[in-house]
Structure 1
Amino acid sequence: MNLARFFLSNRHFVWALLIGVAFAGVRAYRAIPMQLFPDTAPPLVNVITSYPGASARDVDENLSQKLETEFASLEGVRKVRSTSQDNLSRISVEFNYDRQSELAALDVQNAIVRIRNRLPAGITEPQVLRFSTADRPVLTLGIVSKDPTRTRKFAADHIVPRLTRVSGVAAVELFGGHVPAVVIRLNREDLRRYGLSFAQVTGLIREGNVSRPAGTLYTERTTGTYRMEMRLGSIDELRDLPIPLPGGAHLRLADIATVEQASLRPDALYDVNGKNAIALQIMKTTQGNTVRVVRAVQEELERIRKANPELEFVVGEESASFTEASIGNLFSNILSALLFAGVLIFLFLGRWKIAAVAIVSMPLSYALTFALMKAFAVEFNMVTLTAVILAVGMVVDATVVMLENIIRLRDEQDMEPVQAALEGAASVMLPVLAGAATTLMVLIPMLFLAGFIGKTFSPLALTLVFAFSSSVVVAVVFVPLLTVYTHKTSFLDKPALWIIRPFSWFMEVFRRATLGVLKRAMEWRWITIAMMLILFVFSVRGLRGQGMEMMPRMDGGSFFITLKTPSGTSLEETMRRVREIEELLLREPVVIRVSAQAGFEAGMRTFSSAGIQNATAGFISVTLVDRNHRDETLWDFMGRTRVALSRVPGVAEFSVREQGNTAKSTTAAPIVI
């Protein structure tokens, strides 16, 4: 009674609160990050180490096994897997779900530091790469031009910095093409003639192009820090670099070597829709909205293209369209559910103003729900929006109970609107709170689920908790006040009778039929019980024959191919095999986009997680037209692709898998007990 009296006595406060909730809900709706599925990947850290000149056995015995032993002793490690091949070691360290990925990567880095002096001297510095669902690129595109070397440098100097500054972009990876470099080719005959060695010349080049601290000069009045700068500013200066001879004479570097501006041999090649290109991969921040980030990047690319018309930007992969379509369909379902719920409420309550209170309470409940989701960093995805849809019918329950009781007291006992709102709200306050509490008690244990199940379904339970709690707040705080303004009849109530009367007649017929069936069931109770038992037995038997799957298959219209060519195959030959497959796919009318890669560049997080590590590995991503515009399913098309790949010569092994939208495949999931 006191709570209801407080809100009814402070109407301006309640109205201000209502407006504030609506405003906060709209702002939260616009600001909440959006992606297709929640991040369900366990913390995974990849360590990639190059060991030039070592065989696969040497890599395993001298490098991989030592690192594996050290990583296995780290806190929270679930699984350590390693792959050793000629010149390269790759180790994946998977941690428990409760371990933060940043701390996991730091633990791995510290473990490498501890064991570094026991590792072979000839290895490169191990690369530590974190991987999660959030680290997957939201956009991969190719830059097509006539001069790949110049384009790569332009992209590194100008395009990557501009895209990195786009709001929501966490990182931009660049690979493919030729890396610009100054190439020095020493002449062996000249080295032998002048008594020089390769090590001597490279040492002189290194010493002639340094920048290092020279010390600090202290005087009575000043302190100065000095550096020694010996930088070569041009290729001509490098050509004129003096090379001392054993007899005391000097010659120029150009006398014993060819010095020219060229490019390094590529470690990775990239194609998009059959065109050789430089690849850019865009990763969003954890709180970034997938759709907005992709759209913002595309707008920035359009500005870059207008300023550089010789460049062509071709999209290889992007997750915004499918995410936007899927999330958009869910929001459409929410609006449809709200509309149908509003119509049913009107048909049952029978008056426009009274029904309007219940209808308005639903978006208010969702506004408060969205505000809570934003405050607790819950994003929009398929799981949380499914919870929003499930809550449509339930968020109005408390409002209908509160509203019906207030209107009944006002109409039957001829009370004043304020008094009816006060007594009606007070009399059902406890049942409303008790009903909400029992529902919340069922959901709260789901918030503490662990592992993959917890990552997937905890956001669903949390969203439902927010929705139910918000509906109770709206029913207790706003509904009693709004009913005060519904005591007068509306001019729309009389026309509404033409709709309500047929519905009321139908409900009366349905009520009588239900009572008749119930009466017969009570008279023949043993027959009723026997029928229920028979139905239960057949239902259980039917369930035993049903298939069981963790997640339903989703035809997202995209899949990828990983392949390997025989050991020792060059990068160029691997790319030829990849392009042969690419051409086969592009002939299919339902294929709208194909991006392909061969080889691996150091630091490529995304492709290292897919196992693409050397010149014999290839990766192809395929995007099909929307399911409504093709006759066969994604899995049928993948089956035909497997048959076609089996006929391609020079491919030692391959796999064709759908592009899962979560960290786990949509057709396979871990067993969680």
Structure 2
Amino acid sequence: MNIPGFFISRPVAALLLTAALTLAGLVAYRHLPVAALPRIDIPTISVSTALPGATPETVATTISTPLIREFSAIPSVREISATNIQGASAIVLEFALERDIDLAAADVQAAIARTQPHLPVEMTGSPVYRKLNPADAPVVLIVLRSDTHLLQQLDTFARTVISPRLSAIAGVAQVTMSGSQKYAVRVQLDPLTLAARGIGVDEVERAVQAANAHTSAGVIRSPDQHFNLEVSTQLGDAQAWRDLIIAHRNGRPLRLGDVARVIDSVEDDQRASWHNGSPALILAVQRQPDANTIEVVDKVRAALPRIREELGPGVSLTTMNDRSISIRTALDDVTFTLVLTIGLVCAVLYLGIGRLTTTFIPSVTIPVSIVATFAAMYALDMSLDNITLLALTLSVGLVVDDAIVVTDNIVRRIEAGAPPHIAALKGAKEIAFTVISITASLIAAFIPLLLMDGVVGRILSPFAITVSVALAISALVSLSLTPMLTARMPGTRGRVAGRQNLADRAMSGLTRGYGVCLDLSLRVRPLMLILFLISLIGSGWLLRTIPKGFLPQEDIGQILISTRARQDVSFPAMVELQRQVEQVLRTSPHVSEIVSEIGATGTTSLNEGRLSVELKAKAERPSLAQVLADLRRDLDQLPGIESLVTTAQNARMGSQSGRGPYQMTVQAQTLTELQHWSARLAHRMSQDAMFVGVRSDAQETALQVAIRVDHDKARQFGITSEQLRSTLRTGFAARQAATIHGDTDSYRVLIEFDPRVARTMNPLELVSIRSASGVLVPLSSFATIERTAGPRSIAQLGQRPVATISFDTPAGIALSEAVNRIDALKFEEGVPATVTTGFAGTARVFQDMVHNQPLLLAAAILTIYLVLGMLYESLVHPVTILAGLPAAAFGAVAALQLAQMELSIMGLIGILLLFGIVKKNAIMMVDHAIVRQREGLSPSAAIREACLIRFRPIMMTTAVALAGAIPIAVGHGAGSELRQPLGIAVIGGLIVSQLLTLFITPVLYLYLERLAGIGRRLVWISKRHPA
């Protein structure tokens, strides 16, 4: 079908088609979600367990290991890791990317139910699971603090008002609280008083449980009405509990306050959080995967004024770490770059064409193609982000290519004297196959990206889809609207004076100069062939040796700090050390706000803390690398606490991203071997200049107290293991004995030994157990104490223990260099075969990318060859067209090395994009040469004519592609660190390939034509003289 002829004769159809595409794009644009990066949903489920007072070994062996064994049978589980700390564990299950998270959650729930009968009965509840996505960070933090209200009061308001209200906002997935200070009544028993009064811990616990009933007792009915009957003996605050009678001695009541210190407290008094040095509660708001980050944050901010009114005076409710700010700024900058690129491309078009009207015709394809692409993005559930907007920006220099080729071919006929209508019909029909070939082969370069799986595929696919759709729409517009406008718009007939003649004269001069150089290159064909081989070998060598990374480090103005003190540090001492870290940060000229938190969570121990730092605006501070260096230097001077400083990134991989950007895992056959080699490797890495922030999560030297029971003596006293275990857990693990039911929430009553007494005495002298005869027997009568060193936490990968070494690289060191150095260190240390190492998080994704990189490039080249072979019905001509690819790769990688940049995902995208751009030059040459050969010209004359006739559109399309890449390569604005490598790679590849392919392509065309001719003669001879 003659598509251009159809639309040239039906101008209304061409206009309406263009209007429909544009309108669909404008409507879709308003509904596209906005994010920093494409949606990367890593199906992950976290399972939390609690066994108060249990050691990490007990938690690992009795809870985590049975659960992991059952979880291992769930389909599509990619990795299971667990962190076991004092009294709790967190198990993280990571599934294959294609796994449905809801079905996976159902499988996890079923596995928990099957394991539940085999778990310790002392657990405070069943294991709790929740779905999460490690790639998603909170979009904003809400800070709640007051100088006049207790944190317990603020906690209640946060749980009952703020969190439910924010969770109800469209797009909000969940609201989590850090530094929880939920109210609780603590009954702190005096062991000596209990012994003196003859009261056992179990008696106190039973009395507390019995005193707190709140039940329905039935209904009172009368002839006229009825009443619900409730019985409530529930006590309220600490004052009410002090008067509780727990026993009678010598005819007198013994009250709870006589044997215990009863106080109003919090559930977890070993947890605290601050904002800029003041105690505060921190609420983290996370968005749903398909939600618009900017809209979610705007709605959250809009809800805060009403909440502030309800809080009343004296309470501060503020926000920090607003991710929408960096996203908004980055998108504004990308949008500005997009508009600037369109302006530059149009300016280059005008300088090259020299006619305003003729410049307008191909320029129309830019907004139409870009805007219409939004409709496809919406239909494919994509988002507006740095990657897709970057794709649109680069597409500006590509979508105009087809229109340039069509317009140039038509205008050349008009200048030769043909009427515009006839020139448009013949010129567009003549060039239509070339346009289709260019577009199809460009899209073919991205087909391997569309088929990639894994995290890298999730990042690259949206780029490939966006560019492919824009190119397809551009081809459609170029074959419909462009020839119709060229045939009808005034100003396309003749030459105009002034600048237009100057542009024509300049291009004519360039063409004559190129003709002279071309004739010379055709006379020294072996030299050109050697140049081609040099570019081929050089590109391979550069691709192999250039330092490689995953994604360039972005500066979004946020820093994460993980702190750790000695393993036996007390909570008050940890508070003091954490406040010292805060003080250093508050005095830094680079820091704007700080949120700090300590306390055990599912993955962190009591000796670990976390800080989230918001930096000042870029204009008010040095580069991010300098800020990191300054903070690391200052924090390293603090004694007693180590700080791991990392940058917050939009791309988060793995569940431990807060501890370091990269992680290496170490596993061994025995725990002793694991501890030895993980410590040895961590030490060597910390001494090496290629690593910073090295830390192993292995903590195996915490102080422990082991109680050794003489079972014969215990049996004589009639004391069971359950009695002993129950008493110790109540006294030292703050066991919940009762629940206070309030109007909007419920609160716990906790029983424990008074910490002030327990700190000063031997535990054996504190604890007494009631014997079978009713006498309180001191624990020292049948047990001894032993002080040992044991693990503060135990990590597992699968069912085996694991140590994870977190690390970062200093400025100028690529991740590939660090990985190679780790391999060298393992060899130097003589790590045995029984010790296995691997990578987690970003480092693991990077290794997958490096492994697949050669396959990806090879697949792109093969796909292009197959498409071209089918289009040209030839095995030879596609090779000629692909000959310029090594030069493009050589120029791209060389430019990155000159700019001292690593080859990251963005550079890889640039190379694949170059594969599509560069071969269009050869397509335009080869396509014309084939036609002229069929008309009787010799291969040499045909290719020479093709090079000279196509020189103008080749130069113009390359110029506009360069114009489209220059604003990206300059690297201005927020998020420019992510985009800059792509622009540099494209510019370098275009320059080198343009210089080489203009001369190498015709030479290879002649060589391959000679080979094809020999093949044809051999076939003819075999047919004439069959065997």
The residue aligned with 2:141 is 140
Is the counterpart of residue 596 in structure 1 residue 599 in structure 2? no
SS where residue 290 of structure 2 aligns? coil
Taking the TM superposition and a 5 Å limit, the aligned residue runs for 1:205-244 are: 205-206=211-212, 208-210=213-215, 229-230=230-231, 235=236
Return the offset for 1:369.
Answer: 0.7
Taking the TM superposition and a 5 Å limit, the aligned residue runs for 1:497-536 are: 497-530=497-530, 533=533
What is the CA deviation profile of residues 298-341 of structure 1, one whole-angstrom value per residue up to 9, with x for unaligned ones? 23324544664533234342222222222322222221221111
Which deviates more, 128-137 or 339-348? Answer: 128-137
Return the offset for 1:246.
Answer: 9.7
The residue aligned with 1:392 is 396
Return the offset for 1:568.
Answer: 4.7
Is the counterpart of residue 669 in structure 1 residue 843 in structure 2? yes
Output the amino acid matched with 1:299.
Answer: A
**Whole-Å Cα distance in 2 between the matches of residues 374 and 413 of structure 1?**
46
Compared CA separation, residues 62 and 432, structure 1 to 2 (3 A):
same
Return the offset for 1:395.
Answer: 0.9
What is the CA deviation profile of residues 253-305 of structure 1, one whole-angstrom value per residue up to 9, with x for unaligned ones? 99989988664444532212222211111111112222232233223324544
The residue aligned with 2:152 is 149
**Whole-Å Cα distance in 1 between the matches of residues 547 and 420 of structure 2?**
60
Q: 2:644 aligns with which of 655, 660, 663?
A: 655
The residue aligned with 2:777 is none
Output the amino acid matched with 1:132.
Answer: N
Return the offset for 1:630.
Answer: 3.1
The residue aligned with 2:316 is 312
Taking the TM superposition and a 5 Å limit, the aligned residue runs for 1:5-24 are: 7=7, 11-12=11-12, 14-24=14-24
Output the amino acid matched with 1:364.
Answer: V
Output the amino acid matched with 1:312.
Answer: S
Return the offset for 1:181.
Answer: 4.3
What is the CA deviation profile of residues 593-613 of structure 1, one whole-angstrom value per residue up to 9, with x for unaligned ones? 221111146xxxxxx5xx3x3
Compared CA separation, residues 622 and 56, structure 1 to 2 (3 A):
same
Is the counterpart of residue 46 in structure 1 residue 46 in structure 2? yes
The residue aligned with 1:450 is 453
The residue aligned with 1:34 is 34
The residue aligned with 1:332 is 336
Which deviates more, 582-591 or 172-181? Answer: 172-181
Output the amino acid matched with 2:843.
Answer: A
Compared CA separation, residues 475 and 231, structure 1 to 2 (3 A):
farther
**Whole-Å Cα distance in 1 between the matches of residues 314 and 529 of structure 2?**
79
The residue aligned with 1:604 is none
Q: 1:561·1:619 contact (CA, 8 Å) conserved in 2?
A: yes
Return the offset for 1:359.
Answer: 1.4
Return the offset for 1:378.
Answer: 1.2
Compared CA separation, residues 251 and 324, structure 1 to 2 (3 A):
same
Return the offset for 1:460.
Answer: 1.5
User: Structure 1 length normalisation: TM-score?
Assistant: 0.84
Is the counterpart of residue 292 in structure 1 residue 299 in structure 2? no
Taking the TM superposition and a 5 Å limit, the aligned residue runs for 1:570-649 are: 570-600=570-600, 611=603, 613-631=604-622, 633-649=623-639
Which deviates more, 539-548 or 114-123? Answer: 539-548
SS where residue 391 of structure 2 aligns? helix
* Percent of matched pairs sharing the same residue: 26
The residue aligned with 1:605 is none
Q: 2:238·2:264 contact (CA, 8 Å) conserved in 1?
A: no
Return the offset for 1:540.
Answer: 5.5
Which deviates more, 553-562 or 522-531? Answer: 522-531
Output the amino acid matched with 1:649.
Answer: P
Return the offset for 1:343.
Answer: 1.6
Q: 1:443·1:465 contact (CA, 8 Å) conserved in 2?
A: yes
**Whole-Å Cα distance in 2 between the matches of residues 126 and 165 of structure 1?**
26
**Whole-Å Cα distance in 2 between the matches of residues 233 and 189 of structure 1?**
24
Q: Which stretches in structure 2 are left out of the alignment for 5+ residues?
A: 654-660, 663-814, 816-841, 852-1027
Compared CA separation, residues 227 and 373, structure 1 to 2 (3 A):
farther
Q: 1:317·1:595 contact (CA, 8 Å) conserved in 2?
A: no
SS where residue 661 of structure 1 aligns? coil
SS where residue 609 of structure 2 aligns? strand
The residue aligned with 1:348 is 352
Is the counterpart of residue 434 in structure 1 residue 408 in structure 2? no
The CA RMSD measured in Å over matched residues stands at 3.9
Output the amino acid matched with 1:593.
Answer: E
**Whole-Å Cα distance in 2 between the matches of residues 309 and 454 of structure 1?**
51
Return the offset for 1:128.
Answer: 1.6
SS where residue 364 of structure 2 aligns? helix
SS where residue 280 of structure 2 aligns? strand
What is the CA deviation profile of residues 21-57 of structure 1, one whole-angstrom value per residue up to 9, with x for unaligned ones? 3233223333222222234464332222111121222
**Whole-Å Cα distance in 1 between the matches of residues 578 and 625 of structure 2?**
21
SS where residue 352 of structure 2 aligns? helix
Compared CA separation, residues 184 and 70, structure 1 to 2 (3 A):
same
Q: 1:395·1:467 contact (CA, 8 Å) conserved in 2?
A: yes
What is the CA deviation profile of residues 363-382 of structure 1, one whole-angstrom value per residue up to 9, with x for unaligned ones? 11011111100110111222
The residue aligned with 2:386 is 382
Q: 2:8·2:483 contact (CA, 8 Å) conserved in 1?
A: yes
**Whole-Å Cα distance in 2 between the matches of residues 636 and 242 of structure 1?**
61
**Whole-Å Cα distance in 2 between the matches of residues 554 and 236 of structure 1?**
50
Output the amino acid matched with 1:465.
Answer: S
What is the CA deviation profile of residues 95-137 of structure 1, one whole-angstrom value per residue up to 9, with x for unaligned ones? 2222233333332222111111011111232222333245420
**Whole-Å Cα distance in 2 between the matches of residues 26 and 532 of structure 1?**
46
Return the offset for 1:190.
Answer: 14
**Whole-Å Cα distance in 2 between the matches of residues 395 and 253 of structure 1?**
85
**Whole-Å Cα distance in 1 between the matches of residues 77 and 372 of structure 2?**
40
Output the amino acid matched with 2:176.
Answer: E
Is the counterpart of residue 202 in structure 1 residue 175 in structure 2? no
SS where residue 656 of structure 1 aligns? strand
Compared CA separation, residues 617 and 347, structure 1 to 2 (3 A):
same
SS where residue 36 of structure 1 aligns? coil
**Whole-Å Cα distance in 2 between the matches of residues 486 and 660 of structure 1?**
51
SS where residue 391 of structure 1 aligns? helix
Q: 1:34·1:379 contact (CA, 8 Å) conserved in 2?
A: yes
Compared CA separation, residues 623 and 360, structure 1 to 2 (3 A):
same
Compared CA separation, residues 228 and 66, structure 1 to 2 (3 A):
farther
The residue aligned with 2:110 is 110
Compared CA separation, residues 636 and 260, structure 1 to 2 (3 A):
closer
Return the offset for 1:228.
Answer: 7.0
Output the amino acid matched with 2:370.
Answer: Y
Return the offset for 1:536.
Answer: 5.8
Q: Tell me how many residue pairs correspond in the alignment.
A: 647
SS where residue 640 of structure 2 aligns? coil
**Whole-Å Cα distance in 2 between the matches of residues 483 and 250 of structure 1?**
109
Compared CA separation, residues 430 and 231, structure 1 to 2 (3 A):
farther
What is the CA deviation profile of residues 421-480 of structure 1, one whole-angstrom value per residue up to 9, with x for unaligned ones? 555544443432333222222222221111232122122211122111121222234334
Return the offset for 1:538.
Answer: 5.8
What is the CA deviation profile of residues 489-531 of structure 1, one whole-angstrom value per residue up to 9, with x for unaligned ones? 79xx99x843333333332232222222222333344444445
Q: Which stretches in structure 1 are left out of the alignment for 5+ residues?
A: 218-224, 602-607
SS where residue 478 of structure 1 aligns? helix
Q: Larger C-alpha radius of gyration, 1 or 2?
A: 2
The residue aligned with 1:280 is 283
SS where residue 283 of structure 1 aligns? strand
Return the offset for 1:413.
Answer: 5.4
Q: 1:142·1:277 contact (CA, 8 Å) conserved in 2?
A: yes
What is the CA deviation profile of residues 152-195 of structure 1, one whole-angstrom value per residue up to 9, with x for unaligned ones? 22222322233223332222222325213466789987997999
